[in-house]
Structure 1
Amino acid sequence: MTQTDNATPLPPQPPAAAGELVRSLTHRQTTMIGLGCALGTGLFLGSGSAIGTAGPAVILSYLAGAVLVAVIARVLGAMTIAHPVRGTFGTIAHLYLGPWAGFVVRWLFWAGTTVAIGGEVVAAAIYLRHWWPQAPMALLIAAVAALVLGVNLVSVGSFGFAEFWLSSVKVTAVVVFIAAGLLLVFVGLPHTPATGLGHLTPGGGFLPNGLTSVWTALSVVMFAFVGFETVSISAAETADPARAVRTAMRALVWRLGLFYVLAIGLIVTLVPWRDVAGGDGSVDSSPFVHVFTQVGIPAAASLTNAIVLIAAVSSANAQLYAASRFLHSLGHDRCAPAAVARLSRRGVPVRALVVSAAGIVAAALLAAFEVAGVFDLLVSVAIFSVLLVWLLILASYLVFRRAAPPAAQRDLPVWGGAWTAWAGIAGVLAVASTAAVVPVMARAAWVGSGFTLALLLVYALKVRHVMRRDAPAAPRDPDPQEAPRVH
C-alpha cells in the first residue's frame, strides 16, 4: 500500500524491535524539518553583520555559501540513503573513519546544537517580551523550552506534524517578502515608485570593502545554513528513507539557496546597505518590517515579530529533535550513559530529550543573564563543531566512495565524485581560515580545538575499550542468485 504524502502525522507505530526508533515521518515532513532548522531568525531580522562586512557584495557570499551547502548536502544524502541509521553521519563516520570519529562527531554535534538551541530559546523569549515587556525572562525561557520539549515527547509523528506547519509559516513569510520585494524593486506601487537597482552601487560601489570582504563575510553567512543536516538525522524515523532523503535534499538545497540569495539581494536593493549594516537586532529594524510597511500590510512590526517568534520556536523544536537523536545514538553505542538510549512505548528517546533540554535551558540562562564569558566559550564550541562535522562528513564520503559498491551510490549520485568532495573540503577550510582576520572565528578555533582534544582524550582513556563497534555493515551489491525481497 502506498503511503499518502501529506502533513497529517501517521498513527503511532510500535518500534520494529526493542530499542529501535519508529519510522513514521513522511518525506514532506522530512523536508520541512531541514527547513525548520536552516530558516532561522537571522534571515528575518537581517544579516546585518554580513552586510556590514561585504556591502551589496554579500549576495556573492550567500551564493558561495549555498553552493558549498549543496555539495555537503549531496554527499550527506548519498551516504544517508545507503545507511538510514540512528546517529546518521556520526554512525557513518564511525564506520568509514573509525570509532574515534563517530565519538567525536556525535559529541561535538550534540554540544554545538544544544548551545545553538539555547540561543533560539532566548530569542523566542525576547520576541514574547515585545508583547509582554514585564514578563520575567526566566519564566519565558522555561515556557518556550517546555513547549518544544512537550512537542518532542509525545511522538515523532507529533514532532513532524508541528514542524511541518511551523516551517510552512516561515516559508510562506519568505515567499511573501520576496514577492513584495520584487514588486517594490521593479514595478512600484501607486504612490511608491520602483526602487530599481540604484542602491547596489552608491557608497563605494558593489564591492565597497574589496573582494576579500566576500570571503570574510562567509564567517557569518555559512552559519545561516546550519540545520540542513537534520534531514539525514530523521532518516532513521522516516517511512521510506531513500525516497525521503533523496527528495528532501534536492528540494532543501535549491529552496535554501533561492530563499537566502533572493531575500538578501532584495534587502540590499531596497535599502541602502549602510542603513542595515550591523543592525540592533530588534524587530523594528528588520527589513521585513520595512517591506511589509511599504506594501501596506497593517501592523507590520507585530506581524514580523510573530514570524520571527515562530522561526525561533521552529528552529529550537527541530534542533532539539536532532540533539536528542544524537544523544540517544551515543547511549546506544556506549559513548554516553546507557540510560539515554532507552525509548518510550511510542519509540521516543525520552531521557535523551530531557537531558538535551536541560542543557538548552542552562545555555539559554547563561545567554539571557549575560554571563558573557561562559556563553561566549560555548558559542565558540558551537561554531567549531559545525565546521569540523562538515569536514568529517566530506572525509567519510571519500572513504565511502572507495568502500561502498557502485549500486549503493546510484540512488543519489554526486556529480564529480571525489573531486566534488575535495572541493567541499577546500570550501570549509576557506571558511575556517577566516579565523586569521575574524576574532570570533579565531576564538572558536582555539576553544573548539581544545574541546575536541579533550573529547579525544576521553575516548582514548575511557570509551574505546567499551564502545560498541557494531556500526552498520557497509552496503554490498545484491547477489544475482538471491531472491528479491518484498518490502
Structure 2
Amino acid sequence: MTTQTPSSDERADGQLARSLGHGQMAMIAMGSALGTGLFLGSGEAIGIAGPAVIISFALGAMIAATIALAMGEMASRHPVRGGFGTLAARYLSPFWGYLSRWLYWIVTVCVTGAELVACAAYLAYWVPAVPIWAGILLFAALIIAINLSSVGSFGVIEFFLSSIKVIAVFVFILIGAVLVLFGMPGQEAPGFVELTADGGFAPMGWAAVWVALSVVMFSFGGIELLSITAAEAKDPARSIRTAARTTIARLAFFYVLCIGIVVCLVPWQQAAGTGEDVATSPFVMVFDRIGIPGAAHITNLLVLVAALSAANANLYAGSRILHSLASDGLAPRFAAHVTARRVPAVGIALSSIGLIGAALLAFSGVGGVFGYMMSLVVFSVIMVWALILATYIAFRRRGERGGTFRMPGGVVTAGFGLVGLAAVFATVFVRPSMQVAAMVGIPAVIVATVLYVVVGRRRIDPADIDSAFEEAESMR
C-alpha cells in the first residue's frame, strides 16, 4: 500500500506565518526561562549549597549555553517547524524526533497548567475571595486569547511581559550592587562578608554545588523555544543568531548576579527555603533590607507577571510542537490546520488540556498530582536537552554547518554539555525529587515507545519531514 504524499496546497494550508523579529524571539525564550524559579525557587538552591550556589548557577549557565548555541547553529541552517524535534527526526531517527517532541509537548502542557496555578495563587494574595480554580480559568482565557491572535501580536505581548521582568531584574541588580558596595545612609556596606560569614563559602561541602544543579538547571528551562520560534522568524539566520547569543548571555548575567546579590545581603540560612510563599522570597528579604515599603506586593506583581509570561510562552510552544507532529503524521492530522492568521488553533486547543486539568484539580481539591506532573517535566527536559546535543553532534558529523553562526568548539563543546547533563541526572542518587522524576519519567518513555512501535512508525511519511526542510530552505 503506497503512502499518499500531501499536495503542495495541503502543505501550504498548514504553514505558519513568519512574523517574529529577533528581539521578540529572544524575549519569548526569556519569557519561559526567566520565571518564578528565580523570584521564588532560588531559596531552595541556596539552602542546598549556601553561598556556593553562585558556582552552581554559573555551571548551569555554561551547560545551558551549549544547548542554546547548538540549537542556534542548527536552526539558522534549518529553521523548520517543530524545531529540535524535526531536526532529531532527520539527523538521528524518526523515533527520536517523535519522542523528543511528544516529551516536550508534555512538558509544555504540565508547565502551562502549573504556572497558571501559580498565577491564581498570586492573585489570591491580593483577593483571597477569588478561588484558585476561578483564577486559573481567568488567566487561561487571557493566554488562550493572546495565542489565538496573530503570531505578530503574540510576539508583541510576550515582548512586553518579558520586558517587565527584565527591567525589574536589572533594577534589582543595580540597587543591590550599590547596597553591597556602598551601603545606604545610616547603613554600612556589607561587602562580601556574608559569603563566608556562616560556615564558609561552601558550608554544605563542595558536593552540594553539584546537588544544587538539580534545582538550578530548571531555572534555564525555556531556552528550547529558540528552536521552535525559528519556523516563524522573519529573518531566520540573523534572528536566531542574535537571539541565541543574547538570550543565554542575559540569563547567565541575571541569574548569577541576582543570586550573588541575595547571598551578599541576606545570610544564606535566612534566604534558604522552599520559596513557595511570596513573603519568604529571597527578593522580598532584599527589598525589606533596602527599605522599600510594600516589598511583598512588588514581588507578588513580579512573580505574577513572570508566571503569566511563562504560561503564555509554553502554550505557544506546545501548540507549535503539536502542529509539527500532526504535519509529520505523528498526531491527528487535523491538528496541523491553521487559521487565516496562520495560527494553529487546534494545536492551541489541545495544548490547553493542562489548563483545564489544573482548574479541575484545584476545584476538586486533589493533592499530590502536580508533584508527579512536575517530576515528569524534570525528566523530560533532561531528555530533550540531551537529544538536542546528540542531534547537533550528528548534524556536524554529516558535515553540516550553520552558515555564519557556529557554536565555539563544535562537537567538543556539545560533548561537554552532555557530560554536564549526565551529572545533573546523576543527582537521582541523592535527591528524592530526582528519584521521583525517574520513577515517573522512565515509564512514560516506555509507554511512548510502545505507542510508536504499534502506531507511530506506520504513519511516518519521509516526505512530510522532507517538506518541512524544503519549506524552511525556501524561506531561509
Shorter-chain TM-score: what band?
A: over 0.9
Tell me if the contact between 1:124 and 1:144 (Cα under 8 Å) persists in the aligned partners.
Answer: yes
Aligned partners of 1:84 and 1:241 also within 8 Å:
yes
Report deviation, 1:420. Answer: 1.0
The aligned counterpart of 1:309 is: 304
Alignment map for 1:421-436 (pairs within 5 Å): 421-436=414-429
Deviations 1:267-326 (A, max 9, x none): 111000000111452222223223333434342221211111101100101111001100
Which protein is richer in helix relative to its size?
2
Gaps in structure 1 of 5+ consecutive residues: 1-14, 477-484
Residues 335-354 of structure 1: pairs in structure 2 closer than 5 A: 335-354=330-349
Counterpart residue type for residue 467 of structure 1: I
RMSD (CA atoms): 2.0
Q: TM-score, normalised by structure 1?
A: 0.91
2:444 is matched with which residue: 417, 427, 451? 451
User: Is 2:30–2:247's contact at 8 Å kept on the other side of the alignment?
Assistant: yes
Q: Which residue of structure 2 aligns with residue 382 of structure 1?
A: 377
> Which residue of 451, 454, 464 corresponds with 2:457?
464
List gaps (5 residues or longer) in structure 2. 1-9
- The residue matched to 1:465 in structure 2 has which SS? helix
Mapped to 2, the partners of 1:325 and 1:380 lie a distance apart of 23
CA-CA distance at 1:263 after TM superposition: 0.3
Contact 1:380 1:444 (C-alpha < 8 Å) held by counterparts: yes
8 Å contact from structure 2 (residues 70, 392) kept in 1: yes
1:118-165 Cα shifts (integer Å, max 9, x gaps): 111011101101110111111100001111111000111111010000
Partner SS for 2:459: coil
Q: TM-score, normalised by structure 2?
A: 0.93
Residues in 1 aligned to 2:292 and 2:160: alpha-carbon distance in whole angstroms: 22
Correspondence 1:411 to 2:432: no
Give the equivalent residue in structure 1 for 2:18.
23
Report the CA distance between 1:377 and its aligned residue. 2.3
Q: Deviations over 1:302-360 (max 9, x none)?
A: 12111111011001011110011001111111111111111000000001101111223
CA distance in structure 2 between the partners assigned to 1:117 and 1:244 by the alignment:
26
Paired AA for residue 299 in structure 1: G
Kept in 2, the 8 Å contact 1:233–1:322? The answer is yes
Is residue 2:396 matched to residue 1:394? no
Match 1:273 to one of 268, 281, 301 = 268
Q: CA deviation at 1:33?
A: 0.5
**8 Å contact kept, 1:177–1:291:** no
C-alpha distance in 2 between matches for 1:414 and 1:37: 23
CA distance in 2, matches of 1:259, 1:92: 30
CA distance in 2, matches of 1:352, 1:156: 14
How far does the alpha carbon of each residue in 1:73-103 deviate from its partner, in whole angstroms, 9 at most, with x for none?
1111111111101100000000011110111
Pick one of 200, 221, 226 that aligns with 1:226: 221
- 1:203 equivalent in structure 2: 198
Q: How many residues align?
A: 463
Correspondent of 1:242 among 193, 213, 237: 237
Instruction: Assess if the C-alpha contact under 8 Å between 2:71 and 2:226 holds in 1.
Output: no
Give the C-alpha shift of residue 474 in structure 1.
Answer: 11
295-304 vs 447-456, which moves further: 295-304
Letter paired with 1:413: R
Q: Give the Cα separation in 2 of the matches to 1:317 and 1:417.
A: 33
Contact 2:133-2:362 at 8 Å conserved across structures: no
SS at match of 1:464: helix
Aligned identity (percent) is 49
Residues 434-479 of structure 1, C-alpha deviations (whole Å, 9 max, x = no match): 0010011112112211111111110011110112223248989xxx
